[in-house]
Amino acid sequence: MSVQQAAETGGEGLEVWIDQDLCTGDGICAQYAPEVFELDIDGLAYVKGSDDELLQAPGATTPVPFSLLRDVVDSARECPGECIHVRRISDMTEVYGPDAE
């Protein structure tokens, strides 16, 4: 699914998570979308909850605001660790990231 396709479908609900086991700590995600991603003191990136707190539980997800979709997708595409996963909430299908078709 391209960003254009997501826009055409009305921005179906998406969520994002980071596999910390693969995170290289480059911080590209936090540069693209600081509202969604942040590096912690351990040098790894995490998604942030609606209260701006880091979600550190393994596999923790956060919704992707439609206004930040392009930035989140660019983060997933540019991530050297290939650890950012974006999936549809409705059926849990990965649409961006290393496991996307």
pLDDT of residue 18: 98
* pLDDT the model gives residue 39: 97
What sign for the dihedral angle of Cα 63, 67, 1, 100? negative
Tell me what the pLDDT averaged over the chain comes to. 90
- pLDDT at position 11 is 54
Given this model, what pLDDT does residue 66 score? 93
Instruction: Count other Cβ atoms within 10 Å, centred on residue 73.
Output: 24
Q: Which residue has the higher pLDDT, 67 or 101?
A: 67
| CATH class held by domain 3-96 | alpha beta
Neighbouring residues of 18: CB distance < 8 A, sequence distance ≥ 6: 29, 37, 44, 45, 46, 47, 83, 84, 85
The model's confidence at residue 6, banded by pLDDT at 50, 70 and 90, is very low
pLDDT surpassing 70 at residue 8: no
Average pLDDT score over residue span 58-76? 96
